[in-house]
Amino acid sequence: MDTFTPDEPTAASLLPLPPATFHILLAAADQDRHGYAIIQEVAARTGGEMKLSAGTLYRSIQRMVELDLIEETAERPAPDLDDERRRYYRITPFGREVARAEAERLQALVRIARTCGLAPRTT
């Protein structure tokens, strides 16, 4: 008889992250946020360059929950600030690990670009 062994992904196996996933991780890194807040946060951090559509956002969120990168949190803000339809998401320790790994990957890339003279040196 077959036995079922769900594959546990490692941080490395998920790299490189899709840009939307990375941005969502970054937006959820400092505080729990609901979907619309994530969109706004990402837009703000990128100076309006990255505007997540609702579809992209929720498709990403669903996959990220499945991969245990973020989780839905039961804690809600004060009721007057809350809308009951909203779901709030929090980054998981695994999500942090993955985000860190992605950041390191990008950093390494930038270093290589720099040695080729294709990226400005930091002072």
Over the window 17 to 56, marking each residue x when it contacts another protein by CB under 8 A and - when it does not, the resulting string is -----------------xxx--x-------------xxxx
Q: How far is the CB of 67 from another protein (least distance, A)?
A: 12
Interacting span for another protein (CB under 8 A) from 17-25, 80-88, 92-100, 105-113 = 80-88
Do 21 and 7 contact (CB within 8 A), yes or no?
Answer: no
User: CA–CA separation, 44 vs 50, rounded Å?
Assistant: 9
* Number of Cβ within a 10 Å radius of residue 77: 12
With tokens 């100076």, the residue in question is: 47
Q: Is residue 58 near another protein by the rule CB under 8 A?
A: yes
Q: Is residue 74 near another protein by the rule CB under 8 A?
A: no
Q: How far is the CB of 7 from another protein (least distance, A)?
A: 9
Question: Applying CB under 8 A, which residues contact another protein?
Answer: 1-4, 6, 34-36, 39, 53-56, 58-59, 61-63, 83, 85-87
